[in-house]
A and B are shown apart, each in its own frame.
Chain A
Amino acid sequence: MARVIVDVMLKPEILDPQGRAVMGAFARLGVHGVVDVRQGKRFEITLEGEPTDEALADLHRMAEELLSNPVIESYTLRVEA
């Protein structure tokens, strides 16, 4: 079994009101010195077998077509050691 991690983040130029609200909470809770918070999604995908090139190509396709919206988001994909 292998585990693949896909992280999806809003592109830097897209406003992230949720991240901004979290940053506001930091300040209210007495944590200062934070200049930016961006919120994203993390997918942990467990494969039945080895992470073959074919399996990873499928996951890249899913990351682009389903897990992220390339208009506003970017993703990274890695196999967990």
Chain B
Amino acid sequence: MKIGVVTFPGSLDDRDAQRAVRLAGGEPVALWHGDDDLKGVDAVVLPGGFSYGDYLRCGAIAKFAPVMTTIIARAQQGLPVLGICNGFQILCESHLLPGALTRNDHLHFVCRDQRLRMERVDTVWTNAYAEGEEIVIPLKNGEGGYVADDATLDRLEGDGLVVARYLEVNPNGSLRDIAGISNPSGTIVGLMPHPEHAVESLTGPSTDGLGFFVSALNRLVNA
């Protein structure tokens, strides 16, 4: 199973995301921002970092990249996409997910091992977890505050589209402690913390992040 990982100018975590795909048992495929060809991948990861220097707004310029034109069209037809951190910002800017990520309410960049509760576990990217399972993975962002209007937040909660919620500490002022959300069909997931940095005990606080990549491979194999 091939999972594409996009590299934008300013992406940081593309190599870690590729490594996580490999450790989960998949074949990572490097995708380039300027190339609209998805090289036959079965799913796509939009990695963390600072695409286009975060100029204008985080993810605002990345959404116009040639590769995103193809990904947006394919994602609307069901191609699984996981956006992590900057990738989550790109998904929101592209209107593939509702809401937006804004400056942390305390204005500081935050970098910590963050406890999360997994709430929606039937998505392409979260089916390896148990509902209510608590995981610890790194979080690192300056603009990770999830915001949306009350009607959107109520819809996300009512339809069960909140994938993960912050526990113990709300690190960035995200409304209703939301760390990650999904589209209704569960193919598109956006997450502010970084599962790709928690796939090996040597370098991560846990291996709790591996489940996101294993989930996608499970689903793709059984599709």
- Using a CB–CB cutoff of 8 Å, the interface residues on chain A facing chain B are 10, 13-15, 17-18, 21, 66-67, 69, 71-72
How far is it, in angstroms, between the C-alpha of A15 and the C-alpha of B102 when the chains are bound? 9
How far is it, in angstroms, between the C-alpha of A50 and the C-alpha of B31 when the chains are bound? 42
- Cβ of B182 to closest chain A Cβ, rounded Å: 17
Contact between A15 and B100, CB atoms less than 8 A apart: no
Q: Give every chain A residue within 8 A of B105 (Cβ-Cβ).
A: 15, 17
Chain B: interface secondary structure?
loop
Would you give the 0/1 interface string for B51-64, flagging 1 where the beta carbon is closer than 8 Å to chain A?
Answer: 00000110010001
Q: Give every chain B residue within 8 A of A17 (Cβ-Cβ).
A: 103-107, 173
Contact between B100 and A71, CB atoms less than 8 A apart: yes
Would you give the 0/1 interface string for B90-108, flagging 1 where the beta carbon is closer than 8 Å to chain A?
Answer: 0011000011101111110
Contact between B60 and A66, CB atoms less than 8 A apart: yes
How far is it, in angstroms, between the C-alpha of A21 and the C-alpha of B105 when the chains are bound? 10
How far is it, in angstroms, between the C-alpha of A10 and the C-alpha of B100 when the chains are bound? 12
Q: Give every chain A residue within 8 A of B147 (Cβ-Cβ).
A: 14-15, 72
B168 at the interface (CB under 8 A from A): no
Contact between A15 and B98, CB atoms less than 8 A apart: no
Contact between A21 and B107, CB atoms less than 8 A apart: yes
**Out of A10, A15, A67, A71, which one reaches B92, CB within 8 Å?**
A71
Contact between B102 and A14, CB atoms less than 8 A apart: yes
Those of B65-118 within 8 Å (CB) of chain A: 92-93, 98-100, 102-107
In the complex with contacts A69-B57, A69-B60, A71-B100, A15-B107 CB distance below 8 A: no
**Out of B56, B100, B104, B106, which one reaches A72, CB within 8 Å?**
B100
How far is it, in angstroms, between the C-alpha of A15 and the C-alpha of B64 when the chains are bound? 27
In the complex with contacts A71-B98, A72-B147, A18-B103 CB distance below 8 A: yes
